[in-house]
Amino acid sequence: MKPISIAFKDLQILLQDRGNLFMLFLLPLLFIVVFSGALGAIGSSGKDTRIALVVVDLDGGKSARTLLEKLDQAGGVRVELQEQAKAMTRLNLAEIPRVLIIPENLSRDIAANNPTTLRLTVHPDADIEQTDAVRRVVEGVARGMSLEIQLLEAMEQMREMQSGIRESADAFTTDRMQRQARSQFERAQTEPLVAVQQRVPASRKEGQREEPLNASAFAVTGMTVLFVFLMAQKTAESIYEEKKAGTFRRLLAAPMSKAALLAGKMLPNLITGIVQSAVIFAFGILGLRLIGLLPVTLGVEPLATVLVVVLIALCSSAFGILIAALARTEAQIGGLSTLLLWGMGFLGGGIMPLFILEQFLGPLPKIVPHYWANHALTNLMTRGLGLADVTTDMAVLLGFTALFFVIGLWRFDFD
């Protein structure tokens, strides 16, 4: 019970300071509003939010025009017609991510009931999720056209067969016509008349991709990690104040180990970090919607998000012990905290999205725990992944926690 008693006392002291309450709970929310609004304005500078799709129409016939109209009406893509030479040049220069090519004789092949293929050519550095969304829209429109053509053809065949002698016409009942229509529908689902083929040219940059920016999600996850880790300074300052007041010596006289004593000093940070994250997430889910910004969710597995938050708070607490062990004066605590926590926060994706940092710094951000914390929360809250997908991030955070605590215990001046 001794570590819990120490934690309870430190929490009471922490919460009595209104400045601490502002920094821990209100300042992160202000940062989230500013970042969400600013980045959201950058990301939505254009009024049309549909994915741009450059189309090369080599056919120019009726079926091609119908296809273009249906693509533009589908709601997911914005069609931009261009000549083939210009479109392919822009694609090779990575000015555009993908090109849809309507082949020659599309209208003639469809009229003759001959299969034809649309070609979706994708640059290797194009966003995978956007490309998949475009492909699904094109496939849906093409499949709908196939179904419409095949059903009309089936009805025409029925009409022609019924136009003969009465005995033959009686053989083709409404039930048989419906079965024929269902058969054509099933054929359209499995063997569409118009197919879509996606082709990605070879590139030395294979594996790299540009990730769309979700301003609200980035602001919430980034500020959560940044401000939970800033709590480490409070842990170090609490220990310094105990030493300065002489109460730390009385704690040493208590019947508990030095490790248990430091664990007791970690608990306030752990509890505060969890509460702090809960406030930030609540604001991200409810508050952002109220002020007209895009809200966030806890992902498909909220429990996984909660577990990651607990690990982040635990790692921050251990880092506070390390700062207290390395610093000897109040000025050193402030200097180390400012340098390390803000520097690590920037390097680990608290100020700038990870996919941008990795383009310029490569694997360097991985040396700080903030990177793994942001990576885990982004995977869970933005990309729709689950607990199994963030086990590596969680293991690394646990490793950092153990490392910080062991070094802090080793270097700590208990005198």
Q: How far apart are CA 379 and CA 383, in angstroms?
A: 5
**The pLDDT value given to residue 307:** 96
Give a yes or no: residue 270 inside a domain.
yes
DSSP-derived pairing of the beta strands 194-199 and 116-122: parallel
For residues 82 and 175, state if they share a domain: yes
- CA 328 centroid distance within chain: 41
358-362 long-range contacts (CB < 8 A, ≥24 apart) are none
For residues 374 and 393, state if they share a domain: yes
Q: How many CB atoms lie within 10 A of CB 138?
A: 24
Query: For the chain, how many residues are written?
Result: 415
For residues 85 and 185, state if they share a domain: yes
pLDDT at 347 over 70: yes
For residues 80 and 8, state if they share a domain: no
For residues 56 and 39, state if they share a domain: no
pLDDT at 401 over 90: yes
pLDDT at 93 over 60: yes
Lowest mean pLDDT among 49-58, 236-245, 311-320: 236-245
For residues 145 and 244, state if they share a domain: no
Residue 342's contacts (CB-CB under 8 Å, 6 or more residues apart) are none
Q: How far apart are CA 400 and CA 344, in angstroms?
A: 13
Q: What is the CATH number of the domain that holds 67?
A: 3.40.1710
pLDDT at 310 over 90: yes
> Quick check: helix, strand or coil at residue 163?
coil
**The pLDDT value given to residue 373:** 96
Of the residues 199, 225, 252, the one at which a domain ends: 199
For residues 359 and 222, state if they share a domain: yes
Give a yes or no: residue 208 inside a domain.
no
For residues 226 and 185, state if they share a domain: no
Give a yes or no: residue 204 inside a domain.
no
Query: Which one, of 367, 39, 356, 401, lies nearest residue 228 by Cα?
Result: 401
pLDDT at 241 over 60: yes
* Number of domains the chain is built from: 2
For residues 312 and 229, state if they share a domain: yes
Residue range 125-138: average pLDDT?
A: 84
* Residue 167 belongs to domain spanning: 51-199
Of the residues 144, 167, 199, the one at which a domain ends: 199
CA triple 360-232-310, angle to 5 deg? 85
Lowest mean pLDDT among 79-93, 150-164, 299-313, 399-413: 150-164
Q: Per-residue confidence at 281, pLDDT binned at 50, 70, 90?
A: very high
Of the residues 169, 199, 229, the one at which a domain ends: 199
For residues 72 and 186, state if they share a domain: yes
Which of 247 and 227 is assigned the larger pLDDT?
227
**The pLDDT value given to residue 40:** 55
Q: How many CB atoms lie within 10 A of CB 48?
A: 7
The pLDDT tens digits of the residues spanning 27-78 come to: 788 878 877 765 555 554 445 567 888 999 998 888 888 888 888 777 678 8
For residues 176 and 218, state if they share a domain: no
- The overall average pLDDT reported for the chain is 79
For residues 262 and 390, state if they share a domain: yes
Residue pair 193/146 in contact (Cβ under 8 Å)? The answer is yes
Q: How far apart are CA 136 and CA 219, in angstroms?
A: 30
Task: Write the DSSP assignment of 224-239 as a string of letters.
Answer: HHHHHHHHHHHHHHHH
Q: How far apart are CA 281 and CA 172, in angstroms?
A: 64
